[in-house]
Amino acid sequence: MVYVAQLGQTVNAKIDTLWITGVVGMPNGFTYSCHNAGCKILGGKTGCATLTGTATQAQAGIYPLIVLINIRATAFIGPIPVGQNVSDTNSRYTMVVEGASGLSTIDSYSEVILYPNPARDELQVYLPAQKELATYSIKNMQGMEVLAGNLLPQGEVSKIGLNQSKGVYFIEINTASKHLVKKFMIQ
């Protein structure tokens, strides 16, 4: 679907070309490069970008990414083709940086991301697709709740302070429509 400004309405359209114009949210010192000239991806094809950089210990954590794109699409209004350029974003990706090793991973559409695991004094929680209010409850192996609270909305990383003893714990995340449980450790 594309909004055609000349008509003031949304219509079905064929994407002719997509360009990656930027990646927002990476740690300082990281850059991106595309696997093809001009970061251009033809409609019906796939393309990739590479994120590079060296993480410091202080940069360890979860980084929600926003990929900036321009789209060239053609809609047909009856027999008349109408070209349209649209700027858009894609926020389905998250970079998790492991500071001690300098490694990073890119997650796409995970329901919940926990970092670090094992944790020490803080657990970061990111819900990439969550738009409604979310609450959490942390329980020990005996099923006793040791901590509870609210999580930040989509696009933000919740930081939960931990002062529990070492061991295995479960975080239960609840929304109006979902119940998720993930295991993590405190060391």
Where do the structural domains in the chain lie, given as residue ranges? 2-97, 110-186
Cα dihedral value 130, 135, 138, 143, nearest 10: -110
Q: Among 3, 8, 7, which residue's Cα sits nearest to residue 85?
A: 3
Q: Which residues, 6+ apart, have CB-to-CB distance to 87 below 8 Å? A: 21, 68, 69, 70, 71
CA distance 174 to 112: 11
Q: Which range, 2-16, 31-45, 79-93, is most confident?
A: 31-45
Q: Which two tokens stand for residue 93?
A: 């990706």
Tell me what the pLDDT averaged over the chain comes to: 83
Distance (Å, whole) CA 179 – CA 167: 23
pTM for the structure as a whole: 0.65
Residue 167 has pLDDT above 60, yes or no: yes
71, pLDDT greater than 80: yes
User: Which residues pair with residue 166 across a beta bridge?
Assistant: none
Query: In this structure, which CATH number among 2.40.50.140, 2.60.40.3080, 2.60.120.10, 3.40.630.10 belongs to the domain 110-186?
Result: 2.60.40.3080
Tokens standing for residue 146: 């040791």
